Structure 1
Amino acid sequence: MNTALRSAMASAGLSPRRLAVRVGVTGKTVERRLADAELTPHARKREDACRALGVGEEMIWPQSVKDRVKTGHDREVVHSYPYRSACPSDVWGELTRGASRELFFAGYTNYFLWSQIPAFSETLRRKAGAGCRVRFLVGDPEGAVTRGRERAENVALSVSTRIRTTLEQLERMGPVDGLEVRFSDPEDAVYHVGLSVFRFDDDALVTPHLARLVGHDSPLLHLHRQEDSGMFDRFTEHAEELWERGSRVPA
């Protein structure tokens, strides 16, 4: 018997029939939940029941709460989005503004950041001036991999144009101590174009690029570092390896 549910119903003055009306189920369904503590309603019904009873879910169905707690490597996944464009712009802005040690933008083009993050150039300049390391790793707009990706995507705003947009935005900022820009090595470009890694101290936004889809149509993971050699470390180490083999962008 689910004694916690029965006690909460008694405290709220709700009979099985009245609770059923509040939640949108039958009275028999409530009776079954009362009779068997192992039976757990769907998440929406649990929320509605707890709201009607004025108690927390952990009081009535504690196992459902435990099941939602991430363990192991999964706990580094803060959120996942089926499309990069589904990630709210507030997330990008808050992560950028919150970083104090490391801002590393290792997307192949990075051009969208100026429209995604308000006052992006000014924020970068302020962060670099405060001692934060700011880096951009982009693909070579003249490279063979760039041309191949352009043929695959076949969109009006080409990959090379998007890269040049980023380079122009950075050039407009003028010399900024603490800001570094590199092209990925030609031999690494195929690995770079397929995976974008954006680091903000101990958080990262990662986009694996799918087939011919442009970046905003590919999925995105928000990771937060919790352990050594976890998902955060694996992806950021990939970006660091590309950076170490990259070359300075010609002035």
Structure 2
Amino acid sequence: MANERLRAVMAAGGWTCAMLAGATDVDPKSVERWVNLDRIPRRVTALRAAETLGEDVHALWPALRQGRKARAVNAELVALYAQRADLPVSAFVDLFARAREHIDVLVYAGIFLHEAYPRLNELLAERAAEGCRVRIALGDADSANVQQRGVEERFGHGIESRCRLALMHYLPLLGTPGIELRLHDTPLYNSLYRADDQVLVNAHVFGVNAYAAPVWQLRRVEDGGLFDTYAQSFAAVWDTARPVEGEA
């Protein structure tokens, strides 16, 4: 089994096995085994390699978190957080800032982004100006599914108000080339925050507010993998959503 996570990071940074071997003071054949056979280096060597590549060591070798006998659950899983509140908003902002082709957001409201980062609209407009396609899908405040979510999370009409507030935040982007805004009325199983080949997935748990539900970060490394599953889910919702046309 190959370490597709390590392979993808090295490819993205232009690293060859020989180059990484030189930077970590190991034999090039050792690096080849890390990549092609999913061999796990000694912890000190792994830490040096991760620092060289600018990645978290446990993202490259998850088994180091629990001991050498543990195995990664999936090659596309970069990180897992117990709740969204564990992630600083900068994690979302940095993800969007690095996007070159796609930014997709699927939420009911997600107003924490604008509240913590008031420049969000400017950032999205900047990315769109550079040729990035930006698609924002917000929950329709009048839909039965949004209202039911308020009941499930014991948030009442608050969720509907947050959907309307989210729409107000994004309305200034209407008419910006490269940016599309739609409203959906689907039952939301996960909120998605995609930038090119990475996505943050905020799971929704019955009776739990989104900020207290888990988040996993995925990086696309193969066709038909986890990343593609969520990308296709976004596309399915997007196709059913209706465009926003200057409404408030």
Question: What's the TM-score, normalizing by structure 1?
Answer: 0.68
Alignment of 1:63-212 (within 5 A): 67=68, 74-117=74-117, 119-155=119-155, 158-184=158-184, 186=185, 189-190=186-187, 193-212=188-207
Cα distance in structure 2, aligned partners of 1:203 and 1:173 = 23
Relative to structure 1, is the Cα distance of residues 250 and 212 closer, same or farther in structure 2, using a 3 angstrom cutoff? farther
Contact 1:93–1:118 (8 Å) recurs in 2: no
| Cα contact 2:103–2:133 (8 A) shared by 1 | yes
Q: Which runs of 4+ in 1 moved over 6 A?
A: none
**Partner Cα separation in structure 2 for residue 135 and residue 127 of structure 1:** 12
Note if contact 1:92-1:116 (Cα within 8 Å) is conserved in structure 2.
no
CA distance in 1, matches of 2:235, 2:116: 24
Q: Identical aligned pairs, as a percentage?
A: 26
Count of matched residue pairs:
188
Using the alignment, how far apart are the partners of 1:68 and 1:119 within structure 2?
45
SS in 2 for 1:74: coil
Amino acid aligned to 2:93:
G
Root-mean-square deviation (CA), in Å? 2.5
**Alpha-carbon separation, structure 1, partners of 2:121 and 2:99:** 15
**Runs of at least 5 residues in structure 2 that lack an aligned partner in the other structure:** 1-41, 48-62
Contact 2:108 2:138 in 1 (8 A): yes
What is the SS of the residue equivalent to 2:177?
A: coil
Q: Which amino acid aligns with 1:182?
A: R
Residues 6-40 of structure 1 show CA distances to partners (whole Å, capped at 9, x for unaligned) of xxxxxxxxxxxxxxxxxxxxxxxxxxxxxxxxxxx
Aligned pair in 2 of structure 1 residues 75, 122: CA closer, same or farther (>3 Å)?
same
For residues 111 and 68 of structure 1, what CA distance do their matches in structure 2 show? 41
Q: Can you give the 5+ residue segments of structure 1 that lack an aligned partner in the other structure?
A: 1-45, 48-54, 59-63
Q: Is the 8 A contact 2:101 2:132 kept in 1?
A: yes
Name the TM-score, length of structure 2 as normaliser.
0.68
- C-alpha deviation, 1:67, in angstroms: 3.9
Where do residues 39-58 of structure 1 align in structure 2 (5 Å cutoff)?
A: 56=45
Counterpart in the other structure of 2:23: none
- Map 1:3-82; keep pairs closer than 5 Å: 56=45, 67=68, 74-82=74-82
Quick check: 163-172 or 199-208, which moved more? Answer: 163-172
Which of the two has higher C-alpha Rg? 1
Q: In structure 2, what is the Cα distance between the partners aligned to 1:105 and 1:211? A: 21
Kept after mapping to 1: 8 A contact 2:147/2:156: no
Q: How far apart, CA to CA, are the structure 1 residues paired with 2:138 and 2:46?
A: 47
Equivalence for 1:245: 240
The yes-or-no answer on 1:220 pairing with 2:230 is: no
